[in-house]
């Protein structure tokens, strides 16, 4: 497995530039189609809420987006680990932060880059924006200016102001520290903690550790220990944490230390220093991109050390995305006037509690994880879907208890339920699928490697660390790889039927399969030598690859016919296709969109069952609707028998998911329309739509993809004996990678 997620500079630039440039857009939340809509949205209708807000400013939270809007603000003086590159250069990072707010906690964000390094001008500019936003997230501002900016704005503004570079890392590391102390039987008041680094994050980590009860802290910077009486390189923030100690170097400070908190540079902590620490040491090596010491080196020095880093490819990742989206979610929902220490501590304890809880079976199945609390799991995974319902609740409660909540929540159970409904679990599963693919890399065969889009997908798949691409191509394929920027095209495994020593064996295998189906040996030889799908499917059948992706050069049905010459359906099952519609807080699985033209009742029942299983793997509780133009016999007509019989088949099978039919799409998806049929067995809108036939299914999927506002994944081919996916001919490289990852991770199968 590579040491971190890889991609080319070109891929990163393409990601940010293709389609609409950048990563965010403004979308209207109210209808704007008619003149009346516009009159209500603007003049004259807008005057009504204007007057209401003027009379009662708190109504801005009811009539505008203020209550769910955070400004992500920087001057670009400390961009990631790149330094002071200026406000404009920071914009891609700030847009990315806004995307994370939306993705993880459904918080709307606007990025603002201020072209000034003057602290007072920066403060004045941000302070004047208080009427526009419900909260301020400061980002990538260098120390010590960031301390002055945040503290002044917190004093002047009556909305939450939060510098994530300081407090985000502190909160996540504090959660890990709580659990590490629990595992090692330590009490905070007895711990000796050494902090290496004296920047914004280090100082915030130190302050929060002290808020947890830690009393003995030695902080070091590039000049050594920050001790009482030191004058060189000091400022008021360092002086606040000066220790009464004789130690003058990091090595001296580390002797007998229980905890190391590093936010400094690669290699700052040596194995010899680790050996001088107290038994079962706790090491948080959080320098990025490379930690102060790797977990392997730390464990080589002391095998039972508990180690955390900032890296996703090591256990116990200290990742700020575990904190800031959910902290703001809770703060906004109670209209907190600030984010205080009580709220930060509450977030840390909630994260620690979540890591100690047993991962529910359905979560483990959906996310491909089997996390268990212990030395290698003291911090929750970033894509744990329970974060949205646990962290904001703890933060909101702390805000209420500490008296900074202007809108207390009366029913916390109901609040938790609304939080759960804010996000679509599919998005977390998709993200987790990529991590699962990286953890268990597979050999994925790309069958049309003479096509540039396929080669781009194969390159992205390899550079992303998701597995090994196996290419079926031509002699010129390696030249094409070189033109696409691959430094070593020979590093890609390439199979060409012209030269493959496997061809004779393939011919024998396929001829034995087809000789009683009207085909001569020469027909089979021609297939193997000339058809990439036949050749690729035989490679898959012979174990040369784990997964196959094809479909770019031929229509789905033609490709499917070719694959079925080599591969069988899964035993006892009907192959079919699923298109997955992914919205902000909902997913809809549509089947069968690709294979069965007029499925029988038994096939419809099988399709419903198998699609429900895919929905479960995607983190959903399936609710299946068998669609028709008729709803429970109204209107009457032909072609309803198969649908009704399919429902009867499921009745006989006694399946453990909700299903109903026949029903029109509006009744299946719209709660108000469904109220006309109180006897319906669906407890809510359907998320699995079983279509009556291929024509309606395929038309619906393609119309939704072209006209709908949601993302579309698929088609995903289900129920083949070997994992094989047939992509749409219009697929992009990114879509091909997604199909490959879903198949490799076992979600689409």
Whether 492 sits among the annotated catalytic residues: the reply is no
pLDDT for the residue 28: 82
Distance CA 329, CA 636 (A): 49
User: What homologous superfamily does CATH list for 576-719?
Assistant: Isocitrate/Isopropylmalate dehydrogenase-like (3.40.50.10750)
The burial class, CB within 10 Å (0-12 / 13-18 / 19+), for 153 is buried
The burial class, CB within 10 Å (0-12 / 13-18 / 19+), for 427 is buried
pLDDT for the residue 7: 66
What is the 3-state secondary structure of 110-179?
A: EEEECCCCCHHHHHHHHHCCHHHCCEEEECCCCCCHHHHHHHHHHHHCCCCEEEHHHHHHHHHHHHHHHH
Q: Are 446 and 454 in contact (CB under 8 A)?
A: yes
Residue ranges per structural domain of the chain: 168-320, 434-564, 576-719
Residues of the chain with pLDDT > 90, as a percent, come to 78
Phi-psi region of 295 (alpha: psi -120 to 50; beta: other; left: phi over 0): alpha
Weakest mean pLDDT among 89-98, 187-196, 568-577, 580-589: 580-589
Mark 92-106 as b/e (b = at least 16 C-beta within 10 Å): ebbbebbbbbbbbbb
pLDDT, one tens digit per residue, over 595-632 is 999 999 999 999 999 999 999 988 889 999 999 998 99
Which residues lie below 8 Å from residue 20, measured CB to CB, with a gap of 6+? none
Task: Choose among 267, 259, 270: nearest CA to 289.
Answer: 267
> Mean pLDDT across the stretch 153-182?
95
What is the 3-state secondary structure of 102-121?
A: HHHHCCEEEEEECCCCCHHH
Q: Are 687 and 589 in contact (CB under 8 A)?
A: yes
Which tokens hold the place of 485? 């920027």
> Mean pLDDT across the stretch 496-505?
95
Going by pLDDT thresholds of 50, 70 and 90, the confidence category of residue 469 is very high
Task: Choose among 422, 703, 714: nearest CA to 551.
Answer: 714
Query: Which is the catalytic residue, given 97, 192, 442, 722?
Result: 97
> Mean pLDDT across the stretch 71-81?
92
pLDDT for the residue 178: 97
> Mean pLDDT across the stretch 435-463?
92
pLDDT, one tens digit per residue, over 557-579 is 999 999 999 999 999 899 999 99
Going by pLDDT thresholds of 50, 70 and 90, the confidence category of residue 365 is low
Alpha-carbon separation of residue 162 from 184, 326, 360, 512, 556 (angstroms): 32, 13, 32, 69, 51
pLDDT for the residue 16: 80
Q: Say how many C-beta atoms besides its own lie within 10 A of residue 9's C-beta.
A: 8
Q: Are 676 and 635 in contact (CB under 8 A)?
A: no
CA 205 to chain centre: 26
Distance CA 2, CA 308 (A): 18
pLDDT for the residue 5: 53
pLDDT for the residue 3: 42
Weakest mean pLDDT among 536-550, 634-648, 681-695, 732-746: 634-648
Whether 415 sits among the annotated catalytic residues: the reply is no
Which residues lie below 8 Å from residue 499, measured CB to CB, with a gap of 6+? none
The burial class, CB within 10 Å (0-12 / 13-18 / 19+), for 236 is exposed
pLDDT for the residue 437: 84
Geometric angle at alpha carbon 461, from 455 and 464, rounded to 5°: 135
Query: Which is the catalytic residue, given 42, 51, 515, 675?
Result: 42
Q: Are 544 and 527 in contact (CB under 8 A)?
A: no
Parallel, antiparallel, or unpaired for β 623-627 and 724-726? unpaired
Stated as kind and residue range, the H or E segment containing 184 is helix 164-184
Most confidently modeled of 388-402, 412-426, 705-719?
Answer: 388-402
pLDDT for the residue 727: 96
Which tokens hold the place of 496? 């060409």
Weakest mean pLDDT among 151-155, 373-377, 426-430, 466-470: 426-430
Going by pLDDT thresholds of 50, 70 and 90, the confidence category of residue 367 is low
Phi-psi region of 93 (alpha: psi -120 to 50; beta: other; left: phi over 0): alpha
CATH number of 168-320: 3.40.50.720
Q: Whole-number mean pLDDT of the chain? A: 92
Going by pLDDT thresholds of 50, 70 and 90, the confidence category of residue 370 is low
pLDDT for the residue 2: 36
Weakest mean pLDDT among 7-16, 323-332, 404-413: 7-16
The 8 Å CB, 24+ separation contacts for 62-67 are: 65/29, 65/108, 66/131, 66/132, 66/133, 66/134, 67/134, 67/332, 67/335
Q: Are 114 and 90 in contact (CB under 8 A)?
A: no
Q: Are 541 and 533 in contact (CB under 8 A)?
A: no
pLDDT for the residue 174: 96
Distance CA 421, CA 335 (A): 20
| Domain 168-320 shares a fold with domain 576-719 | yes
Residues of the chain with pLDDT > 70, as a percent, come to 97
Q: Would the pLDDT of 368 be above 60? A: no
pLDDT for the residue 369: 53
Which residues lie below 8 Å from residue 675, measured CB to CB, with a gap of 6+? none
Q: DSSP 3-state assignment of 182? A: helix
pLDDT for the residue 1: 32
Stated as kind and residue range, the H or E segment containing 55 is helix 47-55
Distance CA 592, CA 612 (A): 12
Which residues lie below 8 Å from residue 490, measured CB to CB, with a gap of 6+? 478
pLDDT for the residue 361: 59
> Mean pLDDT across the stretch 18-27?
80
pLDDT for the residue 80: 83
Distance CA 492, CA 471 (A): 7
Alpha-carbon separation of residue 200 from 13, 167, 261, 530 (angstroms): 30, 8, 13, 63
Q: Are 604 and 642 in contact (CB under 8 A)?
A: yes
pLDDT for the residue 364: 61
pLDDT, one tens digit per residue, over 506-527 is 999 999 999 999 999 999 999 9
The 8 Å CB, 24+ separation contacts for 399-402 are: 399/330, 399/331, 399/334, 399/336, 399/340, 399/342, 399/343, 400/334, 401/342, 402/340, 402/342, 402/343
CATH number of 434-564: 3.40.50.10950
pLDDT, one tens digit per residue, over 285-314 is 999 888 999 999 999 999 999 999 998 878
């Amino acid at each position: 497995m590579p040491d971190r997620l890889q991609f080319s500079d070109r891929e990163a630039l393409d990601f940010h530039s293709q389609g609409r440039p950048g990563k965010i857009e403004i979308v209207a939340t109210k209808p704007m189609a008619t003149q009346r809509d516009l009159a209500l949205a603007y003049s004259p209708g807008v005057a009504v809420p204007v007057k209401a807000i003027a009379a009662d400013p708190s109504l801005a939270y009811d009539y505008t987006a203020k209550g769910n809007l955070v400004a992500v603000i920087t001057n670009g003086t400390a961009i990631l680990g790149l330094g002071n590159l200026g406000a404009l250069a920071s914009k891609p990072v700030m847009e990315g932060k806004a995307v994370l707010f939306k993705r993880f906690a459904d918080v709307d964000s606007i990025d603002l880059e201020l072209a000034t390094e003057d602290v007072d001008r920066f403060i004045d500019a941000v302070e004047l924006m208080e009427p526009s936003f419900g909260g301020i997230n400061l980002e990538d501002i260098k120390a010590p200016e960031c301390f002055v900016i945040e503290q002044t704005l917190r004093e002047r503004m009556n909305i939450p102001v939060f510098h994530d570079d300081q407090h985000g890392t502190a909160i996540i590391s504090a959660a890990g520290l709580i659990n590490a102390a629990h595992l090692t039987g330590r009490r905070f008041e007895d711990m000796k903690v050494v902090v290496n680094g004296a920047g914004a994050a280090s100082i915030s980590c130190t302050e929060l550790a002290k808020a947890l009860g830690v009393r003995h802290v030695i902080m070091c910077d590039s000049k050594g220990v920050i001790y009482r009486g030191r004058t060189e390189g000091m400022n008021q923030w360092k002086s606040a944490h000066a220790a009464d100690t004789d130690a003058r170097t990091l090595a001296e400070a580390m002797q007998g230390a229980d905890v190391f908190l590093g936010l400094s540079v690669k290699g700052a902590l040596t194995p010899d220093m680790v050996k001088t620490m107290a038994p079962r040491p706790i090491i948080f090596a959080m320098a990025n991109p490379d930690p102060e010491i790797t977990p392997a080196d730390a464990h080589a020095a002391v095998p039972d050390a508990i180690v955390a880093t900032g890296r996703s490819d090591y256990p116990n990742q200290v990742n700020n995305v575990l904190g800031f989206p959910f902290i703001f979610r809770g703060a906004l929902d109670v209209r907190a006037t600030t984010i205080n220490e009580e709220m930060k501590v509450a977030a840390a304890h909630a994260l620690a509690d979540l890591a100690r809880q047993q991962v529910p079976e359905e979560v483990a199945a959906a996310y491909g994880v089997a996390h268990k609390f212990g030395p290698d799991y003291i911090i929750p995974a970033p894509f744990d879907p329970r974060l949205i319902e646990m962290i904001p609740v703890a933060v909101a409660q702390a805000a209420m208890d500490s008296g900074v909540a202007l809108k207390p929540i009366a029913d916390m159970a109901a609040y938790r339920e609304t939080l759960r409904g804010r996000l679509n679990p599919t998005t977390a599963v998709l993200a987790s699928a990529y991590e699962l693919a990286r953890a268990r890399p597979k050999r994925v065969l790309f069958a049309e490697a003479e096509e540039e889009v396929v080669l781009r997908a194969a390159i992205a798949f390899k550079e992303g660390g998701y597995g090994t691409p196996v290419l079926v191509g031509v002699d010129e394929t390696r030249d094409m790889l070189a033109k696409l920027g691959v430094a070593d095209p020979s590093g890609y495994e390439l199979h060409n039927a012209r030269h493959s020593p496997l061809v004779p064996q393939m011919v024998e295998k396929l001829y034995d399969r087809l000789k009683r189906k009207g085909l001569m040996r020469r027909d089979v030889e021609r297939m193997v030598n000339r058809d990439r799908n036949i050749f690729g499917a035989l490679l898959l059948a012979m174990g040369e690859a784990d997964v196959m992706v094809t479909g770019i050069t031929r229509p789905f049905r033609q490709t499917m016919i070719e694959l079925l010459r080599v591969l069988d359906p899964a035993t006892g099952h009907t192959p079919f296709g699923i298109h997955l519609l992914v919205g902000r807080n909902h997913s809809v699985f549509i089947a069968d969109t690709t294979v069965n033209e007029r499925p029988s009742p038994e096939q419809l029942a099988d399709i419903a069952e198998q699609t429900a299983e895919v929905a479960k793997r995607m983190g959903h509780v399936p609710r299946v609707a068998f669609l028709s133009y008729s709803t429970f016999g109204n209107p009457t007509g032909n072609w309803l028998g198969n649908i009704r019989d399919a429902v009867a088949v499921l009745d006989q099978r006694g399946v453990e998911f909700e299903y109903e039919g026949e029903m029109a799409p509006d009744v299946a998806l719209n709660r108000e329309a469904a109220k006309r049929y109180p006897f319906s067995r669906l407890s809510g809108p359907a998320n699995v739509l079983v279509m009556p036939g291929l024509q309606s299914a395929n038309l619906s999927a393609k119309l939704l993809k072209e006209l709908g506002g949601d993302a579309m994944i698929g088609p995903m081919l289900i129920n083949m004996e070997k994992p094989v996916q047939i992509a749409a001919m219009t697929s992009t490289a990114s879509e091909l990678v997604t199909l490959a990852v879903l198949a490799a991770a076992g979600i689409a199968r």
